């Protein structure tokens, strides 16, 4: 599986307050980014997989909503996560 519990803990530890911090905006954005990257690679090989395309669009929307929330709440945290993940905005 592409996203096991060890990989999740690694993401949460790197971008959150610790490996138990699963709810912060930064950790959720990082997790969504990892999943988006995986689904994007899948879509490059399977162009006609419409259910995956829909899931990918939903994940991008969720990540965008979290980024907008973080931008409104704390601009320094927003800039830090965008820079750490290499997102365009």
Q: What is the pLDDT of residues 19-42, one digit of tens each?
A: 888 899 999 999 999 999 999 999
- The CATH code that applies to domain 5-85 is 1.10.287.10
Distance CA 69, CA 11 (A): 20
The ranges assigned to domains in the chain are: 5-85
Q: What is the 3-state secondary structure (H, E, C) of the chain?
A: CCCCHHHHHHHHHHHCCCCCCCCCHHHHHHHHHHHHHHHHHHHHHCCCCHHHHHHHHHHHHHHHHHHHHHHHHCHHHHHHHHHHHCCCC
Band (pLDDT 50/70/90 cuts) for residue 80 is very high
């Amino acid at each position: 599986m592409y996203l096991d519990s060890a990989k999740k803990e690694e993401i949460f530890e790197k971008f959150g307050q610790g490996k138990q911090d699963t709810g912060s905006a930064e950790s959720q954005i990082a997790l969504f980014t990892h999943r988006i990257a995986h689904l994007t690679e899948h879509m490059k090989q399977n162009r006609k997989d419409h259910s995956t395309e829909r899931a990918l669009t939903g994940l991008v929307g969720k990540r965008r909503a979290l980024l907008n929330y973080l931008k409104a709440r704390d601009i320094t945290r927003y800039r830090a996560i965008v820079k750490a993940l290499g997102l365009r905005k």
